[in-house]
Structure 1
């Protein structure tokens, strides 16, 4: 038997963050399975939205990045059931560009990758 030694820090693991607003239990439920199946997928149900993301239902990091907290997010709001389906497909695809169908649903962005994802969708 071989013993392995070492450690890993969360900052060393590429993560794709999905954060869901407090009142969005239905959206949380729809995203759970796809995020679990995404390499490095992290799903967070927030207690409160940050003020800059007022009106958002979900925030998605455009691509996996190393770090212990999401710095790049695209915040989406006014989502219909069909829009949530597009969000699910976007996460499942692993694509870094925001689908054009969601460009009108962006309520805020954080970080350079969040801004780039929205610019590519427009």
Structure 2
């Protein structure tokens, strides 16, 4: 992500504060100079999960099959747990879509990602 020094990076601050099994974890972050003199890029190092819920679903479609209902239930439950957690922190994700749900089909694990559009709500 190209850093614009005029703006505070909300995603980094949110990622530092979040700690839940169904939300992607920030492992490390660092800045690196870009090619131009005044460019700086922020790199976020997070947990790895092999695919998105979209790609998992498409893999089943290619086999002329469907994502098993039991898997859908588990993934939906984990999605709702993630949303409940971030909402308890007054965070609105604002970009919930299949590409922002990483999954590990072998272990039936799901993690919510991409807090670039997220916003902390204040009362």
Answer whether TM exceeds 0.5 for this pair.
Answer: no
Q: Structure 1-normalised TM-score?
A: 0.26
Q: Structure 2-normalised TM-score?
A: 0.26
Between structure 1 and structure 2, the one with the greater Rg is: 2
Q: Which has the higher helix share?
A: 1
